[in-house]
Amino acid sequence: MVDGISEEFLGYSLNVSQRLAVRTSLSKLRINEKNPDIQFWGKITGTKRDYYIAQGVKTSDRITKTYYFSADEGVSFAQLPEVDDFILGKVQSVRGLFTGNPANLYKDPNAPKEEEEEEEPEEDEGDEKKEEDPSKRKLNELERLSYQVQCIDNDTCVAPRGAYYMTPCGIIEKNKAYTGFTASDSKALTNYHLFRDPQSPQTLARLRKMGFTNNLDFLDGVTEDQPAGVWVAQVDSSCTQTRLRSLVWPGYEFKQAVGDGSYTSAYFGNGMKNEDVMFML
């Protein structure tokens, strides 16, 4: 996979100073986390500041992903919190754009005597004591960001078929022999998978029947369990690059060079799902 820091996606990219900051920070992060496979994932825009997101991937018999964020234009990155039951129970009631303030608190519409506007807490001892009480815990923007990033990635983590394989022992490996697609094959959505642990019943059924050879179809296809038309594949006029775009998550783009196996992807958007996509098809 190609480093996407210097690439342009849907007309958006990082400027020179942002690229330098992100590249330097991720180099340090790879050393500190002892994971060479940490890459720039994208940028989620906020009303006051933007969030830069990075993703670390490890593979064994499963695909494990870790997410990091920066609220200072890529100067420093920290790990996003794990999504727990509290976050899952509260995040669905939150609407509106991100602010760019990780500490911003959201009101609970089901709680009594809540203020109508979102709260931005001051950092003092009183707030720290309140946060220690689980019964008074409120959803903050950093927790919502973690949930939203994982939702986007779950639906858009595109990888071309053949870039990875599963061994007969069930271990996931990068395919060093992968050389990409022809221009005609690269337009076929059936040649693209989602690089996550399988969720589709069809894929899980295939894995139960896995034989004694390397398996290229151990991942969910981008078209499985999805309405026709939510993915758009295009080859440029020079027939040198293919682009996949998601209508469900506007802002995501996957790019692959024709014939040489190099590819990259990123998300540049406000983190909002297109709930009206079914009316567009």
Q: How far apart are CA 251 and CA 245, in angstroms?
A: 8
CB atoms within 10 A of CB 205: 10
In the prediction, which pLDDT does 122 show?
47
Give backbone dihedrals phi and psi of 109, rounded to 5 degrees, phi first. Answer: -65, -20
CB 243 within 8 A of CB 234: yes
The pTM of this model reads: 0.90
| Residue pair 5/22 in contact by the 8 Å Cβ criterion | yes
**For residues 126-144, average pLDDT:** 74
Position 126 pLDDT exceeds 80 = no
Two tokens, residue 221 = 């296809």
Q: Report the pLDDT value the prediction gives residue 208, as an integer from 0 to 100.
A: 87
Q: Give the separation between CA 51 and CA 270, rounded to whole angstroms.
A: 10
CB atoms within 10 A of CB 50: 19
pLDDT digits (tens, 9 = 90+) for 54-111: 999 999 999 999 999 999 999 999 999 999 999 999 999 999 999 999 999 998 867 6
pLDDT at 129: 46
Contact assessment for residue 166 and residue 210, using Cβ atoms and an 8 Å cutoff: yes
- Say which residue, 135 or 84, is predicted with more confidence: 84
> The sheet that has 78-79: what strands, in order across it?
78-79, 63-70, 51-59, 38-44, 263-269, 252-257, 241-246, 231-235
Determine what percent of the chain is predicted with pLDDT higher than 90. 75
